[in-house]
Structure 1
Amino acid sequence: MSEYRALPSVDQLLTALPDLIDRHGRQPVTDAARLRLDAARQAIREGARGAAEAARLPHLLAADLAAAAVTQLRPILNLTGTVLHTNLGRAILAEEAIAAASAAMAAPLALEFDLTTGGRGQRDDHLRGLLCDLTGAEDATILNNNAAAVLIALNTFGQGREAIVSRGELIEIGGAFRMPDIMSRAGTRLVEVGTTNRTHPRDYRDAISDQTGLILKVHTSNYRIEGFTAEVPAPDLAQIARDAGVVLMNDLGAGSLVDLSHWGLRREPTVAGAVAEGADLVTFSGDKLLGGPQAGFIVGRRDLIAQINRNPLKRALRLDKIRIAALEATLRLYRDPDRLAERLPVLRMLSRPKDEIAQQAARLAPLVRDLLAPHGFDAQVADCASQIGSGALPTDTIPSAGLRLTGAGGDAPDRLAARLRSLPRPIIGHIHAGALMLDLRCLASDDQLLTALADL
């Protein structure tokens, strides 16, 4: 029993550790102390000395509480080669958007308050004019994400009715999210037309009935069907919908507001283009090619947008003030297209020349090699290929450069990847051809990588 008497009580530990209580709170420290005292008693039962266990308690408690306080939601270095990586949060916001979001968090805002009349305003008004100017649409509404935009539009115009979709456009995106499933939840009945690879105008015309609520066109953002294919061009589909008196909705997914070919990338459909081609409604994301925070937009005919805004789901799917502020700042950048690539991180990363990235890799290779050598790994400059991510241009890659990290043993890439993930600022690459590849396209500065690796 004398060994157990060497252990302090919980109250004695708390009295001796006021700094831990100030840092973490009394209850978390109390809970951690109880667990550590239980472990110390078990160690004594197995032959440990009580005094030695007691001496270790403050250090072990501090380590336990520090580990518990570390969030998994912390900044990482995205060196995967996928610029818009869904699992890593997609778009990095522009400085202007970050400043606007910070200001929105720090003070009350006129979110739904009209400063001119003193009456109630609409939160969408902060973005409506910008979206209409940039897309050519009559009106716009804003939701939590693009899935929400699709859901509310289908529910508004297709609940209890039919929605016609080409079989080649019944997509599944990340997380096993399937278009037929969201259509079912929206209360609309799916009518498939055409085949996987070929759909013709007559397929849509033959499917239209007095039960048709809308025709849905879906951008196949994360795959491409090639070979013996046919699809109905959007202007032709718009005419079919007008002739039948039904709504045509075009879901663009990533939703680019600019022609990416200006920066050497293959052209993605633009929102303004979809509006000009005659779609009644166009849905798209805010946190993909647009380069803002998570959001979903619907632009199109004023009378249809008004109906969507009267749907009770609108309140459940609306945005908060922080994202509205960040989106307004992001959209304003598009009014100055000459400087857009400088100020919008997504576009800056996508348009970064390979030569510039290769020069960065050459500078970093010997420094990274020195940091990794004590751990049994090497670093060499290597060519690689980046991709946009989040479903945009799925078969296209962008020439890039990076560091190829190797070590002894077939499990070397996995071991090193695990080590880099455990760093205070984790480094995320991808394993390819027996090596861990760090694509430097998204690396803003050399110091970011060197500082992170110094913690090895």
Structure 2
Amino acid sequence: MHQNPEPGSDSIAYRAIPSVHKLLESPVLVEWSSRLPHEWVANAARKVLDGHRLRLADDPKVAAQTTMDELSRDVAKTLQIQTARKLRAVINATGIILHTGLGRAPLAKSATEALVEAAGNYASVEIDLKTGQRGQRVEVVEDLVCQLTGAEAAAVVNNNAAAMLIVFAVVVGHHRPRKVVVSRGELIEIGGSYRLPQVMESSSAVLDEVGTTNRTHLLDYEQAITYDTAALLSVHTSNYRVQGFCKSVSIQELVELGKRHAVPVIHDIGSGLISSELCSVLAEEPSAQESIQAGADLVLFSGDKLLGGPQSGIIVGRRHWINQIRHHPLMRAVRVDKLTLAALEATLRLHHDPVRASNELPVLTMVQMSVERLQERARCIVDRLGSIDGLADVAIRSSMAYLGGGSLPAEAIESVSVCLRSREISEAELARRLRVGSAENDSMRQFPIICHVQNGAVWLDLRTVFPDQDEMLVATVVAVV
């Protein structure tokens, strides 16, 4: 532990430490005090002075040379870091399109505009403008969702985990423990410690596992059905694949079984693809349309993955179940706000025109951008960076991008990256500077760049970089090398 006494000649250095009051009288901190509460600035000054005392204990001679101006600048730097926005727009150069850590799907321009309009104004969230009567907020988007999926009714909650929770709560009920039958091969865990069995337990559902990890047959489900069976559950294993000697039951087969025994079928398709015809790359993903056509009673999916909208959980299916979901006490806890509804409505409208959706939804434009176009952009970036003294090597490399967000985990998308090597710093340090170099100064109009390090170089995958961010990417690299 550091000691704070002031022994011998070192006491002079300790006595020279300015008081907080004195430090706050410096011109730079007077200016900060005019913009922030006094106590905020004073706390930053105390933090810097405490650090200075610790440095004196470690190296008295060096620390004693620190001037009042240097201490003031340290306080100003501390305040700059504390007041900088924590949630920043970034350039995603990872090659992961639906990057959960970066907010998953970027919104289309029309969705962003709708969100901003709703945010700055009152909005008709639960008011029917024709009748003036109070309505339900899901009505803003229900018709759009039902037209796209073919479902009888729809509900929207704040994410797909919440959708699963409230569906179990409604279907299972609370009168007595009831079973939900699910394949062992579909007992998923996703990021953030979300485990399907634990969600089921929290809703009073009793998990009834059937089959094995790699093989589950229709007979396994049928033999598990008893008078206590509340539902049959099919979960899309969106973030992993079981290959080789394996077998699973299709949603069509499960629906037929459910009909024979009068047991509802729940299908969690996860990734949120509306139609498999939207993009050939996504054809392997289950779609909400297909599941509804197969006869599933309830279908659940995310709004911020392949749909390309805001974070939300969308439930479609039979009106009998949807009405119960809407009136369940949990709905109040998991409902969405006007910002989500505004962005979701605009996103769904785009899906009604597949051509517009392909051209305007960032998720789809990124997936479909040609390698030739990526190479063209890469050449322009390399031409700009090739003469920078701080870079030892700037090269174009073939790379592989991924959808991410638990979609098509085994399917890579051919991509193009710009690879950087610095003359003086390691690839890890260069990646750090790209990530934080401008994070403390919003006025630089630069976004932090999130990239990855591989084979001794920093890789900037252009498939997830918007074309209009290329200039900013170059400027940020130049600023930090």
Q: TM-score, structure 2 length as denominator?
A: 0.88
Kindly indicate whether residue 400 of structure 2 is the aligned counterpart of residue 385 of structure 1: yes
Match of 1:257 in 2: 274
**Shift of residue 183, structure 1, vs aligned partner:** 1.1
The AA in structure 2 aligned to 1:35 is K
Q: Deviations over 1:336-394 (max 9, x none)?
A: 211212111111111111110011112212323333x42x5412111111111111111
**Shift of residue 407, structure 1, vs aligned partner:** 5.2
Judged with a 3 Å threshold, the aligned counterparts in structure 2 of structure 1 residues 122 and 11 are, in CA distance, closer, same or farther, namely: same
**Shift of residue 37, structure 1, vs aligned partner:** 4.0
Q: Deviations over 1:257-315 (max 9, x none)?
A: 13266454543211111100110000000000011111001000001001111221111
Alpha-carbon contact 1:7-1:53 (below 8 Å) kept: no
**Shift of residue 228, structure 1, vs aligned partner:** 2.2
Match of 2:419 in 1: 404
Match of 1:22 in 2: 34
Judged with a 3 Å threshold, the aligned counterparts in structure 2 of structure 1 residues 38 and 238 are, in CA distance, closer, same or farther, namely: closer
User: Partners in 2 of 1:249 and 1:107 — Cα distance?
Assistant: 38
Judged with a 3 Å threshold, the aligned counterparts in structure 2 of structure 1 residues 190 and 92 are, in CA distance, closer, same or farther, namely: same
Alpha-carbon contact 1:369-1:378 (below 8 Å) kept: yes
Judged with a 3 Å threshold, the aligned counterparts in structure 2 of structure 1 residues 253 and 50 are, in CA distance, closer, same or farther, namely: same
User: Partners in 2 of 1:5 and 1:189 — Cα distance?
Assistant: 69
Match of 2:240 in 1: 223
**Shift of residue 71, structure 1, vs aligned partner:** 3.2
User: Partners in 2 of 1:434 and 1:56 — Cα distance?
Assistant: 37
Alpha-carbon contact 2:231-2:263 (below 8 Å) kept: yes
Match of 1:117 in 2: 131
Residue 31 of structure 2 aligns to a residue whose secondary structure is helix
The AA in structure 1 aligned to 2:128 is D
Residue 232 of structure 1 aligns to a residue whose secondary structure is coil
**Shift of residue 44, structure 1, vs aligned partner:** 7.3
What count of residue pairs does the alignment treat as equivalent? 453
Judged with a 3 Å threshold, the aligned counterparts in structure 2 of structure 1 residues 106 and 243 are, in CA distance, closer, same or farther, namely: same
**Shift of residue 225, structure 1, vs aligned partner:** 1.4
**Shift of residue 14, structure 1, vs aligned partner:** 4.2
Residue 386 of structure 2 aligns to a residue whose secondary structure is helix
Alpha-carbon contact 1:201-1:232 (below 8 Å) kept: yes
User: Partners in 1 of 2:206 and 2:392 — Cα distance?
Assistant: 57
Match of 1:141 in 2: 155
Instruction: Name whichever of 8-17 and 379-388 sits farther off.
Output: 8-17
Alpha-carbon contact 2:170-2:324 (below 8 Å) kept: yes
The AA in structure 2 aligned to 1:101 is L
Residue 23 of structure 1 aligns to a residue whose secondary structure is coil
User: Partners in 2 of 1:325 and 1:261 — Cα distance?
Assistant: 23
Residue 414 of structure 1 aligns to a residue whose secondary structure is helix
1:24-39 aligned at under 5 Å gives the runs 24-39=36-51
User: Partners in 2 of 1:397 and 1:386 — Cα distance?
Assistant: 6
Instruction: Name whichever of 445-454 and 1-10 sits farther off.
Output: 1-10
Match of 1:275 in 2: 292
- Aligned match of 1:433 in 448, 455, 466? 455
Kindly indicate whether residue 334 of structure 2 is the aligned counterpart of residue 308 of structure 1: no
Q: TM-score, structure 1 length as denominator?
A: 0.92
Kindly indicate whether residue 185 of structure 2 is the aligned counterpart of residue 168 of structure 1: yes
Alpha-carbon contact 2:435-2:449 (below 8 Å) kept: yes
Q: Deviations over 1:409-447 (max 9, x none)?
A: 9x9332322222222132222233343322110222320
The AA in structure 1 aligned to 2:475 is T
Percent of aligned positions that are identical: 41
Structure 1, unpaired ranges of 5+: none
Kindly indicate whether residue 176 of structure 2 is the aligned counterpart of residue 158 of structure 1: no
Alpha-carbon contact 1:6-1:51 (below 8 Å) kept: no
- Aligned match of 2:107 in 51, 71, 93? 93
Residue 257 of structure 1 aligns to a residue whose secondary structure is coil
Match of 2:3 in 1: none
Structure 2, unpaired ranges of 5+: 1-10, 439-446
**Shift of residue 451, structure 1, vs aligned partner:** 2.0
User: Partners in 1 of 2:180 and 2:63 — Cα distance?
Assistant: 74
Match of 2:201 in 1: 184
The AA in structure 1 aligned to 2:361 is L
Q: Deviations over 1:220-251 (max 9, x none)?
A: 11111122222222112111111111110000
Residue 33 of structure 1 aligns to a residue whose secondary structure is helix
Kindly indicate whether residue 157 of structure 2 is the aligned counterpart of residue 105 of structure 1: no
Q: Deviations over 1:172-201 (max 9, x none)?
A: 112332211111112101111112222222
Match of 1:442 in 2: 464
Alpha-carbon contact 2:179-2:208 (below 8 Å) kept: yes
The AA in structure 1 aligned to 2:160 is N
User: Partners in 1 of 2:20 and 2:427 — Cα distance?
Assistant: 45
1:204-353 aligned at under 5 Å gives the runs 204-259=221-276, 262-353=279-370
Match of 1:55 in 2: 69
Match of 2:479 in 1: 455
Q: Deviations over 1:14-72 (max 9, x none)?
A: 45544212333322112112333445566778357989632334322211100212234
User: Partners in 1 of 2:329 and 2:166 — Cα distance?
Assistant: 9
Judged with a 3 Å threshold, the aligned counterparts in structure 2 of structure 1 residues 132 and 28 are, in CA distance, closer, same or farther, namely: same
Match of 2:145 in 1: 131
The AA in structure 2 aligned to 1:438 is L
